Amino acid sequence: MTPKDRRLMPAAAESGFRVEWRDLMPLSRRQVVTELLLCLPWLLGIWGFAAHSLWLPALGCAFLFFLTGLRQVHGAFHNAVGLSRRQDDVLLFALGLLMLGSMHAVRINHLRHHRHCLEDEDVEAMGARMSLPRVLAFGPVFPVLLHHKALQVGSRGDRCWIVAELASTAAILVLVFGVLDVGFLKLHYAAMLAGQCMTAFFAVWTVHHDSSTHVYPARTIRGRIRAALTYNMFFHIEHHLYPRVPTRNLHVLAARLDRKAPGLASNRVL
């Protein structure tokens, strides 16, 4: 195995769960476009329903927008949505404007999470070691800690992105809640604030809690309907083992791992 191979799949190389995976990396142009448009219907749904005071369906769309937005930024963290590195930066910035916060700060912590999974250096996974009530209470503090750590350890370029994104977030919040009187925007950004406060639970605790004694310290999912409803985001063991595989192909990777190491999938999210 070459040094490049180890950089691409460090967890798989170290853990011994090796299957064919390189054929799952390339995305067609159509797949790239589909991935980039993934959250758009839900964004339009939020605005459309909220503009007509249909609050419940608007909130449902907000949840799905946040979920699909997480999938998109997560793919960009690993350069796995078929874009160049610079295009990934632009995607992270654009989604940060819609989801609030600095996605470059989240990327720094997420890549550290892969290098130090559930260790003391892993700020992202702090909530995984908490009880459910405690992680829910911890939720509003979590984004603050992520941004603080990223500003500490990030490169100069990363810090420039983070400052620009935080300034943009502050400007958006002032405009939406202090200057403009646009109901659908208020609902959208109120929902995004709530989503940010829930990421410690939804994006970390669900996929890592009570996993320290498992063969790999993460959880996964099985079943086509469950995977489709969660946009493949809960194939987390598979993602850790092969982080460069696009999210849309993780179900294929999971099937291959099941044949090689069937016990790997015993630790489920659902």
**Residue 18: how many CB atoms within 10 A of its CB?**
15
Q: Which residues sit opposite 220 in a β-bridge?
A: 268
pTM over 0.85: yes
Amino acid letter, 144: V
- Model pLDDT, residue 14: 52
Report pLDDT for 78.
97
- Sign, CA dihedral 138-178-55-63, equals negative
**pLDDT at residue 6 tops 50:** no
The rounded distance, in Å, linking the Cα atoms of 146 and 103 is 10
24 has pLDDT over 70: yes
**122-131, Cβ contacts within 8 angstroms, sequence gap of 24 or more:** 123/149, 124/204, 125/204, 125/208, 126/200, 126/204, 127/200, 127/201, 127/204, 127/205, 128/204, 128/205, 128/208, 128/209, 128/211, 129/209, 130/205, 130/209
- Average pLDDT of the segment spanning 240-267: 92
Q: Distance between CA atoms of 170 and 160, rounded to whole angstroms?
A: 15
Q: What is the pLDDT of residues 89-148, one digit of tens each?
A: 999 999 999 999 999 999 999 999 999 999 999 999 999 999 999 999 999 999 999 999
Q: What value does the mean pLDDT take over residues 63-88?
A: 97
